[in-house]
Amino acid sequence: MPRRVNPGDDPICQAGRTDRRRSGPGGAGASRPRSGVSRSASDHCASPGPRKRRSGLWFAGRTVEGNYNLHVAKAPLFLCLDKKLVTSRAHPHGIEACDLLGPDNELVHVKKFSSKTGSSVLSHLFAQGLVAIETFLGNSKTWDEFRTKVAEQDPSRAAKLGPRPAALVYAIHRSDRPLNPATLFTFARSALVSASIALSAYGIPLQVCVIP
């Protein structure tokens, strides 16, 4: 069972800590993040290259989220599902299930922010991930729709999807300064803790991954 996140806990602080669990790849003694999410997802949350590059992911010092997602999806264990919408009765116009599907079928949501964008960008990110999870848990047809979109890229991955999301990952890049608990906006921190508590109640592991 995932560790319950209390309001006093800090999900960002927990993201880098590991414990020993007998579950998933590696079996007994495998190093696992405390949320229970595979190390594979966090290992790939890295800077795509030096900032001086003016093509691909980096251009004039800016990270382009869409290009970042495509870059990460070049790794064989990731699928890019950016802008691939799924629908439900509550969301007839569609919601984005994730930006990337991780190695152990984690739903990965990617976001870049800075002091200029404010806390609303992150609050939206945390709500977006939670809404996706809640939609899938309450609508098997929506999960089947998601499975179909995965199958369009990789039928073998779709066949391995379980009956519900395996985990949720928030992958965040702060462009103007390092991201840590001290640099996370107050309202965004509150939204993250609220999402963590809800996900724990649903039995969905959560990891926060800082993209340098």
User: Tokens representing 193?
Assistant: 């803790």
- CA 210 remoteness from chain centre: 11
Name the 3-class secondary structure at 99: coil
User: String of b and e for 169-196 (b: at least 16 CB within 10 Å)?
Assistant: bbbbbbbeeebeeeebbeebbebbbbbb
Burial of 212 (0-12, 13-18, 19+ CB in 10 A): exposed
Q: What is the pLDDT of residue 117?
A: 86
- 39-43, 50-54, 80-84, 158-162: least confidently modelled range: 50-54
Residues 6+ positions from 97 with CB-CB distance below 8 Å? 81, 84, 85, 86, 107, 132, 136, 146, 149
Q: What is the pLDDT of residue 67?
A: 87
- CA 92 remoteness from chain centre: 23
Per-residue CA distances from 203 to 100, 125, 137, 165, 208 (Å)? 21, 20, 11, 10, 16
| 117 contacts 95 by C-beta, under 8 angstroms | no
Q: What is the pLDDT of residue 62?
A: 55
| 109 contacts 168 by C-beta, under 8 angstroms | yes
Nearest to 95 by CA among 147, 47, 130: 130
pLDDT, one tens digit per residue, over 5-36 is: 333 444 443 433 333 333 332 332 323 333 33
pLDDT, one tens digit per residue, over 115-161 is: 888 889 999 999 999 999 999 999 999 999 999 999 999 999 999 99
Residues 6+ positions from 178 with CB-CB distance below 8 Å? 212
Mean pLDDT of 178-204: 92
pLDDT, one tens digit per residue, over 81-121 is: 999 999 999 999 999 999 999 999 999 999 988 888 888 99
Q: Are strands 30-33 and 79-80 parallel, antiparallel or unpaired?
A: unpaired
